[in-house]
Amino acid sequence: MTENYQICSSCIMDTSDPEICFDDQGDCNYCLTAREMLPSYRFTKDRADQNLSRLRDMIKKKSGTESYDCIIGLSGGVDSSYVALLARDMGLKPLCVHFDNGWNTEAAVVNVRKIVEHCGFELFTYVINWEEFRDLQRSFLKAGVIDLEMLSDHAIFASLFKLRRQFGIKYVLSGTNFTTENGLPNSWIWSKMDTRNIKDIHRKYGTVRLKTFPLLSSFRWGLIKELGLGGVFLEPLNLINYTKEGAMLELEKVGWRYYGGKHYESIITKFYQSYILPIKFGVDKRRCHHSALIRNGEMDRAAALLDLEKPALGVEVLASEKKFVCKKLGFTESEFDSLMEEPPVAHDRFKTDRYFMQTVAKVGKFLLRR
């Protein structure tokens, strides 16, 4: 540990986030923000029911073609699966969309099937062009930037809104939520909808022409996110007393099963969080994931610290995962090790729309206040 190392007194975030700061009591900025914000996400049962009732009535007024009234991106993970259960309870008729980027675990496939069968929903699987997607992931690894997951996240949003237009559906339901996902450091991620960044990194390191990879321009995303033009993005989990533990208990009743870690329903995400981030960037995402659960009263700080003393995956499992990932991406293990040894490169060393998007967000907030 460095001489200036510090860890939060209330959660387990530490100075591995270079932008973290602490108050006089040793509490980090994420805990201070959560204490201010979390009361806004606490509801009585009656209030939560009213919130969902209003949401249901709003959605049902705008059904699209094929009788769908909304779209749900369904990964097989906790949050999106629970959104599907809520949609069923609200009497909605969503089109469930599963994004297959070539890295599904068997658990994810089973979970998606269990959920759609239980809810009686229709499922559309968006299968991405593997050669294009692999080339993009190879490009990001060669570039040395931190947010490899930006590619999947961008493609998921882009494909959802493409299908929204195709079926004339106004509303997209997301599993994004504050209570279990607050406190993710900006230094550990990049703007997911930064199309210019994706294109420039691929232009410099890619070899396969992008013909079908779903892209959504930063400007169009700004119109959607900030002004609701071209679709409305809704977060139903922010309207109820949402907990990860409670959601999992309900999901397990319908045959859903846990996969071992946040977003571990994806093979590449599991390896990225367990190997790439710690080895190359000195980042252990368990810190922010566990910290959010500590703030939400779902995890004990001592238990979280104890978990951090162990590697995210066992040595043998990690070696097997590494071998599989390298082969699938077309790297030898020595080539991959060389990439891990190279110093990290900031995303804004490449062309970016991030600062344009920040301006769009400010303009959008100004217009909505008028």
Chain segment 254-275, per-residue pLDDT in tens: 999 998 777 788 999 999 999 9
- Order of all β-strands in the sheet with 122-127: 122-127, 94-100, 70-73, 171-173, 232-234
Q: What is the mean pLDDT of the chain?
A: 91
Grade residue 87 by pLDDT with cuts at 50, 70 and 90: very high
Please state the pTM of the whole predicted model: 0.91
Task: Check residue 97 and give its pLDDT.
Answer: 95
Bridge partners of residue 72, in order along the sequence: 96, 173
Bridge partners of residue 125, in order along the sequence: 98
Has residue 166 got a pLDDT over 80?
A: yes
The CATH number of domain 42-281+310-369 is 3.40.50.620: yes
Task: Check residue 4 and give its pLDDT.
Answer: 85
CA distance 52 to 222: 26
pLDDT tens digit sequence for 282-332: 999 999 999 999 999 999 999 999 999 999 888 999 999 999 999 999 999
Has residue 218 got a pLDDT over 80?
A: no
Nearest to 99 by CA among 231, 249, 268: 268
Domain boundaries, the chain: 42-281+310-369
Task: Check residue 312 and give its pLDDT.
Answer: 87
Task: Check residue 2 and give its pLDDT.
Answer: 59
Give the pair of three-digit tokens for residue 84. 């599907």
Has residue 149 got a pLDDT over 80?
A: yes
Has residue 56 got a pLDDT over 80?
A: yes
Grade residue 226 by pLDDT with cuts at 50, 70 and 90: low
CA distance 227 to 362: 11
Query: What average pLDDT score do residues 10-37 get?
Result: 97
Has residue 221 got a pLDDT over 80?
A: no
Query: What average pLDDT score do residues 355-359 get?
Result: 71
Task: Check residue 204 and give its pLDDT.
Answer: 98
Task: Check residue 37 and give its pLDDT.
Answer: 97
Centre a 10 Å sphere on the Cβ of residue 91 and count the other Cβ atoms it contains: 10
Gyration radius from the chain CA atoms: 21
CA distance 218 to 224: 10
Task: Check residue 357 and give its pLDDT.
Answer: 72
Grade residue 213 by pLDDT with cuts at 50, 70 and 90: very high
Strands (E), the chain: 70-73, 94-100, 122-127, 171-173, 232-234
Give the pair of three-digit tokens for residue 36. 């201010």
